[in-house]
Chains A and B, each alone.
Chain A
Amino acid sequence: MTAVRRIRVLMFAVGIWAGAISGTAAAATPAAGLEEGRVLFENACANCHGAGGTGTNLGPSLANAGAAGADFMLSTGRMPLDDPHRQPVRKPAAFDGEEISQIASYVASLGDGPPIPEVDVEEGDLVLGQQLYAENCGACHSSAGAGGAVGAGLEAPALRHATPVEVVEAMRIGPGAMPVFQEQTLSKQDADSIASYLVYLREVPDPGGLGLGRIGPIAEGAVVWLLGIGMVVLICRFVGEKE
């Protein structure tokens, strides 16, 4: 990062931080539907997270999960979890948007976790996003966002499905083995930028043809051995004698 950029980032950070305080306060106010959220929670979540979200040996306490935590876990379909002994993975959401926001506001009322972040992808700076992504996320999610193993049987998933809001929520709550990135580390502008870079990676088509999942040399090697050598052998048999 150049000095100029650093100053720019700093300026943004300060500005956004000032703005973020008011934004945070607005989002944290308990929304309507608290009671519906409580009922849904007692039915679908309490067997693991305990009545009132205090936690059991099957699931952690949700006192500090916040609306961001609940919204992330529900919109990515991670919760309700099927098997508490496996890493939660992305699957179709079990609730519709309204129910999710009801459960989220109930979970938010349990303690003071992070609110659902506001994300403005258009405000993001693509170049800054690329830099921050490479510095903070690529080591686990791979520089192309294709995902990777992080040890102990856990996996950092590919980032092609997460919506911008889910991306920033993941940063703020640090699901599972992922570290938490708070506003002090990555400001709203930084978060918007990372989200906009991930949108760019997903939407801009690969200029060189099929991307092969962007997992790099492994997929390329498979293509060479299966398709390349396959065609070479066909060509040889076409031109040469078979016996």
Chain B
Amino acid sequence: MIVQKTVRFLDERLRITGFSKKTLRRVFPDHWSFLLGEIALYLFLILIGTGIFLTFFFSPSAREVIYSGSYTPLRGVHMSQAYESLLDISFEVRSGLVMRQIHHWAALLFLAVLVVHMLRVFFTGAFRKPRELNWIVGLTLLTLGLLAGFSGYSLPDDLLSGTGLRIGYSVALSIPVVGTWLAFLVFGGEFPFGNIISRLYVIHILLIPGAIGLLLGLHLAMVWRQKHTQFPGPMRTEQKIVGTRMWPTYAVKAGALFFLTASTVTLLAGLFQINPVWIYGPFDPARVSAGAQPDWYLGWLEGALRLMPAWEVRAFGFTIPNPFFPGLLIPGLTFNILYAWPWIEAKFTKDTAPHNLLNRPRDVPVRTALGVAGLSFYTVLFVAGGNDVIAGLFNLPLERVTQGLQVMAFALPLVAGIATHRICKELKGRPPKTGDEPGHVIVRTADGSYETAEPEKV
């Protein structure tokens, strides 16, 4: 009754039935790998929710205060108000610590899921025409995600976050010609920065989430408009799309997915402590800590900085500061190549036809091999970000580990790429398992016993 009345009310004013009918009957993909993007969406929602909670208690201020809260080893210590409010969130605010931990774990997982989602799109060729634009939007979402992570990591104003900012600053400084000027503009002064926290705060809670929200809308709108891709299979062709109806099956599945995602991050946050800023202590430009690392998603940049030999390069009469190459050139090249990839590939394959069917990775050995090679390069960089930890773990000299990783950064991609190419070629010929291949059949004989029979005989 009520439902009917409401629907009629709305329909008479907004004419929603036509649209909703179409919506509810839409089909959605049902291969499991298509759910990764959706999980990233839910993680984003969780980040927004817990983030709003945190804004109620966080104060983005560099004003110096004297701590008087319940964490004894810091009582009476001078610190920024930002750091103090973080201690309060962790020790004073009810459920503050678990909210902080959910927020941080969700951020780490969000970026990991984005990367896996991107790899799925890459290796199955889902970025090909007509979906190049959405590939670009997706990459921009990843970039924004990295920026969100970095800006958030730097907000607590603890010892480690200050170290991260200092590295960011030195990388910005290293840009030829405009570096000093640009670093000044972004960081608002020389290190240690005066009001960087309040700047980062606006960027972290307003600009980046706003931009992510807009682009996510665009991302989904394009998926909606272009419909999803699918692996080739019975009934699945370039023109015909197979999937689950929005209502009721897909909606229920989506709900389940949301709650399972939420429980995953809550489980992580409940079991594992993350970023115990109270142990690290307030930021102090005169102090450093051994083993200071950025969060994993910046580990590859940290690794590049650590692997870069101390060369000094002069060009056009300028000395190009060393951090420029690992800190800006590598990420710059990485993202430019990724952005241009759909066109690069189309140029080499001369394939400009639209595609709605996905590739199996083995069917495109060259792309798969290049992808694996790239992935192994970044894995080496990522591992290098923790070279000191590895040296400690395996009891090896740090310098030796670094040299080994420098060689690996070039050797591993080559080996992995060639191996992948060969494996793909090998697998390519084999047909997919369909389940109706000829096999043995078990037949019951007249006397009640069983025997196997060749398929032809049946």
Binding site for B on A (CB under 8 A): 2, 5, 126-127, 129-131, 134-135, 138-144, 146-153, 155-156, 197, 200-201, 206-212, 214-218, 220-221, 223-225, 227-229, 231-233, 235-243
Q: Could you tell me if B294 and A143 are in contact, using CB atoms closer than 8 angstroms?
A: no
| Any A CB within 8 A of the CB of B398 | yes
Given known pairs A143-B289, A217-B299, A224-B109, the reply for A210 and B272 (CB within 8 Å) is yes
Q: Could you tell me if A220 and B274 are in contact, using CB atoms closer than 8 angstroms?
A: yes
Q: Could you tell me if B112 and A139 are in contact, using CB atoms closer than 8 angstroms?
A: no
Q: Could you tell me if B279 and A214 are in contact, using CB atoms closer than 8 angstroms?
A: yes
Most buried by B among A138, A211, A241: A138
Task: Please indicate the chain A residues that have their CB under 8 angstroms from the CB of B458 in the complex.
Answer: none
| In the bound complex, CA of A233 to CA of B39 (Å) | 10
| In the bound complex, CA of A142 to CA of B288 (Å) | 8
Closest to A235 in B: B260
Which one of B260, B270, B295 lies within 8 Å of A239 (CB-CB)? B260
Q: Could you tell me if A228 and B389 are in contact, using CB atoms closer than 8 angstroms?
A: no
Closest to A138 in B: B289
* Minimum distance in angstroms from B45 CB to a CB of chain A: 15
Given known pairs A126-B72, A149-B398, A217-B293, the reply for A223 and B279 (CB within 8 Å) is no
Closest to A126 in B: B73
* Minimum distance in angstroms from B433 CB to a CB of chain A: 8
* Stretch in B26-34, B134-142, B186-194, B359-367 with 4+ CB within 8 Å of A: B26-34
Most buried by B among A156, A207, A214, A217: A217
Q: Could you tell me if A240 and B284 are in contact, using CB atoms closer than 8 angstroms?
A: no
Which one of B267, B280, B290 lies within 8 Å of A140 (CB-CB)? B290
Task: State the majority secondary structure of interface residues on B.
Answer: helix
Which one of A206, A223, A241, A243 lies within 8 Å of B268 (CB-CB)? A223
Task: Please indicate the chain A residues that have their CB under 8 angstroms from the CB of B291 in the complex.
Answer: 142, 146-148, 215-216, 218
| In the bound complex, CA of A209 to CA of B293 (Å) | 21
| Any A CB within 8 A of the CB of B275 | yes
Q: Could you tell me if B399 and A151 are in contact, using CB atoms closer than 8 angstroms?
A: yes
| In the bound complex, CA of A151 to CA of B286 (Å) | 21
| Any A CB within 8 A of the CB of B36 | yes
Could you show 24 A-B contacts with beta carbons less than 8 Å apart?
A5-B76, A129-B73, A138-B281, A139-B289, A142-B289, A148-B291, A149-B388, A149-B392, A150-B290, A151-B398, A152-B397, A208-B101, A209-B272, A216-B160, A217-B275, A224-B109, A228-B265, A229-B109, A232-B36, A232-B109, A235-B35, A240-B30, A240-B35, A241-B30
Task: Please indicate the chain B residues that have their CB under 8 angstroms from the CB of A233 in the complex.
Answer: 32
| Any A CB within 8 A of the CB of B78 | yes
Task: Please indicate the chain B residues that have their CB under 8 angstroms from the CB of A143 in the complex.
Answer: 159-160, 279-281, 289
- Chain A proximity mask over B299-310: 1 for CB below 8 Å, otherwise 0: 100000000000
7 A-B pairs besides A216-B291, A217-B293, A236-B36 with CB distance below 8 A are A127-B72, A148-B392, A200-B73, A216-B292, A228-B105, A235-B39, A242-B32
Which one of B108, B275, B284, B294 lies within 8 Å of A228 (CB-CB)? B108
Which one of B78, B279, B395, B399 lies within 8 Å of A2 (CB-CB)? B78
Closest to B116 in A: A229
| Any A CB within 8 A of the CB of B287 | yes
| In the bound complex, CA of A217 to CA of B288 (Å) | 16
| In the bound complex, CA of A135 to CA of B160 (Å) | 14
Give the interface residue-count category, chain B.
35 or more
How many residue pairs bridge A and B at CB < 8 Å? 205
- Chain A proximity mask over B311-337: 1 for CB below 8 Å, otherwise 0: 000000000000000000000000000
| In the bound complex, CA of A187 to CA of B105 (Å) | 42
Task: Please indicate the chain B residues that have their CB under 8 angstroms from the CB of A153 in the complex.
Answer: 391, 396-400
Q: Could you tell me if A232 and B90 are in contact, using CB atoms closer than 8 angstroms?
A: no
Task: Please indicate the chain A residues that have their CB under 8 angstroms from the CB of B275 in the complex.
Answer: 216-217, 220
Which one of B160, B288, B296, B299 lies within 8 Å of A139 (CB-CB)? B288
| In the bound complex, CA of A27 to CA of B264 (Å) | 57
* Minimum distance in angstroms from A219 CB to a CB of chain B: 9
* Minimum distance in angstroms from A12 CB to a CB of chain B: 15
* Minimum distance in angstroms from A125 CB to a CB of chain B: 10
Which one of A5, A229, A235, A238 lies within 8 Å of B112 (CB-CB)? A229
| In the bound complex, CA of A2 to CA of B31 (Å) | 62
Which one of A131, A155, A232 lies within 8 Å of B392 (CB-CB)? A155
| In the bound complex, CA of A146 to CA of B276 (Å) | 13
Given known pairs A216-B160, A221-B108, A240-B35, the reply for A134 and B281 (CB within 8 Å) is yes
Closest to A206 in B: B273
Q: Could you tell me if B273 and A209 are in contact, using CB atoms closer than 8 angstroms?
A: yes
| A-B CB proximity, top 9 nearest | A148-B290, A221-B296, A153-B397, A208-B273, A240-B32, A143-B289, A149-B388, A142-B290, A130-B73
Q: Could you tell me if A147 and B392 are in contact, using CB atoms closer than 8 angstroms?
A: yes
Q: Could you tell me if A220 and B108 are in contact, using CB atoms closer than 8 angstroms?
A: yes
| Any A CB within 8 A of the CB of B74 | yes
* Minimum distance in angstroms from A154 CB to a CB of chain B: 8
| Any A CB within 8 A of the CB of B133 | no
| In the bound complex, CA of A72 to CA of B75 (Å) | 32
Given known pairs A147-B392, A151-B398, A228-B105, the reply for A217 and B261 (CB within 8 Å) is no
| In the bound complex, CA of A212 to CA of B108 (Å) | 16
Q: Could you tell me if B256 and A225 are in contact, using CB atoms closer than 8 angstroms?
A: no
List residues of B (399-418) whose CB comes within 8 Å of A's CBs: 399-400
Q: Could you tell me if A210 and B293 are in contact, using CB atoms closer than 8 angstroms?
A: no
| In the bound complex, CA of A144 to CA of B90 (Å) | 17
Task: Please indicate the chain A residues that have their CB under 8 angstroms from the CB of B185 in the complex.
Answer: none
| In the bound complex, CA of A211 to CA of B270 (Å) | 12
Closest to B259 in A: A235
* Minimum distance in angstroms from B413 CB to a CB of chain A: 20
* Minimum distance in angstroms from A223 CB to a CB of chain B: 6
* Minimum distance in angstroms from B391 CB to a CB of chain A: 5
| Any A CB within 8 A of the CB of B125 | no
Q: Could you tell me if A236 and B112 are in contact, using CB atoms closer than 8 angstroms?
A: no
Q: Could you tell me if B33 and A236 are in contact, using CB atoms closer than 8 angstroms?
A: yes
| In the bound complex, CA of A228 to CA of B115 (Å) | 13
